[in-house]
Chain A
Amino acid sequence: MNEVILNDRWQVGLLVALVAGALGIVGNNTVLFMAAVVGLTYAAYGFATSPNDPSFAVSRTLSDDTPTAGQDVEVTVTVRNASHSLVPDVRVVDGVPDRIGVVEGSPRHAATLQAGESTTYSYVVRARRGRHEFDDATLVARNVSGDAEARSTAAAETTLSVSADVGNVPLAQQTIPQTGMVPTDVGGEGVEFYQSRDYHHSDPMNRVDWKRYARTRELTTVEFREERAANVVVVVDVRDECRVARREDEPDAVTLSKFAAARLVSHLLDEGNQVGLAFYGYDSEYVPPGVGDGHAVRIRNALDASTESSFPVVTDGGFRTYDDDRRVDWLRRRLPDGAQVMFVSAVPDDEPAETARRLQASGHQVRMLAPDVTSTETPGSTVDRIQWLERIGKVREAGVKVVAWSPDEPLRSAFDRARRRWSK
């Protein structure tokens, strides 16, 4: 349905004609009087051009319907003039979802369309997590003189679903005696071949390597790499030192860490692990490892809650100070035996390295996920980045494997890259 709007655009011709004619008469100037013809001609032009009543068909395609977060997706819009007349001026505004950012091109377009003719344009959006439905495209058609416009909307249902899957998280091999998804160095039940060993009477018959028996007449038993569940505590560094952002309009490291922790917890719980949560900083929030949907909600609520200070502090001459040792001791008292730690920290100083080293010394294997909030845009930020890389190096020297994650890339990419590097 078109909404036709007429304007009195060309009545300006009449105004010009009247003024010119009147001045010509008053001033006794024939040329000026005859100049009124110009104004009259333009007025007649406005009356002569009729408003159009076009109809359009709009289609929209995406280069990738299910991209990963941060991926650029090209949106191609095709507008066809479905009426039987020429539309000299059609303007299209595509209904880009509010939360999707256009990074290249424009979702707006203009064209002249013959009857049945189509025009195609494209622009690029950057995918963000979630499900995003495009709105209807808005079309404005004008006649050649511009004094009549028809407004309409055209539906072109398109949905962009962006996966937030973090992929395969490279956990440490510290596991609990429950079946899970963490490959271990223990032979047993599983899917990946681990080793062959001599047959024992207690071995089940389906584990006997019969092909080898046929060749050598020796009974051997095949063992698979056992996959077990892990007891993981995700520790999020929420200290004030982490309240740093790469740019003014970007989230700070604490926000990024909590976001990554939420994805990690969700993924690890889906894989059957027992997952807990602890805040490292001025907050005593701790959720012991557990499983199930209710447990997932508890952790999500804890992550959504404020991280204002409530951590026990010591006073020193009236000044409130925080004892780094107390933080580690507080953590160690709560970590269950055999639990491994996924430490999410932007590593703003040397403390995370020391904490990771001490947790490892306590028998908890530690992996670190480090959001990278540094840049090389200015000399100062470049120096800051160099120092950050040095601190990451110290963490690695402490025997902790570190996954550096840039906010510009999906978590999945960071984990995949880390796994490839560690497998070399």
Chain B
Amino acid sequence: MVEVTDAYTFDGSRTAFGSKTAVVIAAVAATLLGVSAGYALQTLLGVVGGVAFGYAARDVAQEELRARIRGSSLLMVASVFVVAALALEKANAVDAVLVGAIAATMGVTTLAALMDPDEAVRPVFSALSRSFLATIAGTLLAGALYANLFSNLALGSWTLFALVLASTPMAGFVALQFEFVLIGLLAGRAGRAAATLEPSGNPEDVDVVGVRDVPAGLWVLLGIQVVLLAFPGGSGPFEYLLAVAGPAGAIAAAVLSNLYVHAALLVVLAVLVVLPVVAAVRRSAVAVFGNRAPKTLAFATGGVALSVVVVLVSSIPGFDGFVTWLAGSDSAVTAVVDLYGFGPGVLGGVSGVLVVMGIGLFFYMAAFALPFVPEHASGFVFGAAMLFVAAVAGAFAGAPAPAVFVTMAAAIAVWDVGEYAVEFGAEVGRAASTRSVEAVHVIATVAVGLAAVLVASLATHFFVPLMTAVPQDRAMTALALLTVALVGFAYLADTGSDGADGS
């Protein structure tokens, strides 16, 4: 690192040309590998999702509220793309690793090209955790809607209420008293709540509407009635009174037990309860967040927005059927939608991906703490490692040999070009023109990679068929000796190069 003290502001971030080239190399290699392995759509979704993640991480790391909101939203878009890519898999876990590694490669490499990933780890983790809470809440809501929990709950309650009303007129009498008392209480509270929600309103103006205080004696009386109702024969005196009243008592009993009367009063109660609840939510929000929502609240924007959209979309009648028709009968999507529904499935999948991302961040930070990882290593190292994993997964997934070789070479090239851009930027800065020098280095690295791919492909084509005739024990011995020779060669080369220091 060149140490100089300049009087101007020095921007020592990675160079634009090298960073973009590393991203392009990663994208081309990942696409080639994924497509050749038979997962064109999944690869495309993974690449787009990964790039979106890179930009999202860059945005959430900004200090501006708007940028954080944009980043959080983009983070959800990236998660949806990754979920879609993984959901469209039809085969085994190796393929999932392949697509996941492609997405991770593009995400980390794109982020490393945009900024120092170390600076983005903490805000991305914040965005992930807050959005995760939002998507979990959305998943529960969507699940409840999918299982018709609310309608079943309402129907069951209403049925039980009707049975109670039908059992004795006293039940209707007690219910009617409770309904009127609650309407009186809520009328006053609703008026005051409306006044507080209205900027120019004054709660004192509506103070006279409704009941403010209910005498304790009334509550005691109602309690006694409920107790009487609960005991067998407790409603006997009330029924006797109605019987004594003759036709008037019969009419009163019919009115008290009439479902429509109680339904009308319950509707009025429901309407009146809305305003106090809204006012209470507003008061709670102001108490927690103050007049200005904290910046970190922006981190949850993506999760909230996605949950709302998914819940609304999944509420459209027939939408689940449309999705299963689109995905096909043998798709994992169809199985998930049939089992859990579209809304819970998507939001649950996104929540899972967010958790995986968080774990990935943890491993990202942990990886750089390992003793054999150089201190100056950048995010490109992680991107290159992910591309290497993709190449390994591609090899096991049956991808053509040249595609695996290209991906392997690209992994090294991404690391080399990316690290070079980081070092170049640190020494020369972004203000200087570096493109031509970087181009020389990139061309050399890519040329070596192409030569390596050519050599590996030719060797695979010509020598591998010959190796099948070799007994396994001899082959293993030869490979062990080759490994020892490699390690020895590396040691000798390293020892010999020490003497070249200085001039």
Give A residues with C-beta under 8 Å from B.
1-6, 8-9, 11-14, 16-25, 27, 29-32, 34-35, 37-43, 45, 47, 51, 53, 88-91, 93, 95-103, 105-112, 121, 125, 138, 140, 144-146, 150-151
Contact = CB atoms under 8 A, between A and B. Distances in A.
Contacts of A37: 405, 452, 455-456, 459
Contact of B436 (A25, A45, A111, A150): A111
Nearest to A30: B464
A39 B441 contact: no
Nearest to B399: A31
B395 A103 contact: no
Interface of B: 2, 4-8, 388, 391-392, 395-396, 399, 401, 404-405, 408-409, 411-412, 415-416, 420, 424, 427-429, 431-434, 436-437, 440-441, 444, 448-449, 451-453, 455-456, 459-460, 464, 467, 476, 479, 482-483, 486-487, 490, 493-494, 497-498, 500-503
Contacts of A47: 493
A121 B434 CA distance: 12
Contacts of A12: 412, 415
Nearest to A105: B431
A102 B440 contact: no
A295 B409 CA distance: 77
Contacts of B444: 88, 144-145
The 10 A-B pairs at the shortest CB distance, nearest first, are namely A41-B452, A102-B8, A106-B431, A37-B456, A32-B395, A38-B452, A101-B7, A38-B408, A31-B401, A108-B432
Contacts, number: 178
Contacts of A34: 401, 405, 456, 459-460, 464
Contact of A13 (B412, B459, B503): B412
A354 B143 CA distance: 81
Contact of B500 (A4, A30, A41, A95): A4
Contact of A18 (B476, B483, B502): B483
A144 B451 contact: no
Q: Taking chain B's interface residues, is the majority helix, strand, or loop, or is none over half, making it mixed?
A: helix
A17 B6 contact: no
A42 B448 contact: yes
Contacts of A35: 391, 395, 404-405, 408, 456
Given A16-B408, A91-B427, A106-B432, 5 more contacts: A30-B460, A42-B449, A53-B503, A108-B428, A110-B433
User: Secondary structure of the A side of the interface?
Assistant: mixed
A102 B6 contact: yes
A41 B455 contact: yes
Nearest to B381: A12
B405 A112 contact: no
A32 B396 contact: yes
B500 A109 contact: no
B409 A38 contact: yes
B404 A110 contact: no
A88 B440 contact: yes
Contacts of A13: 412
18 contacts: A6-B497, A13-B412, A18-B483, A24-B395, A31-B460, A32-B404, A34-B401, A34-B459, A35-B391, A38-B409, A40-B452, A40-B486, A41-B448, A99-B7, A103-B8, A111-B436, A140-B427, A144-B444
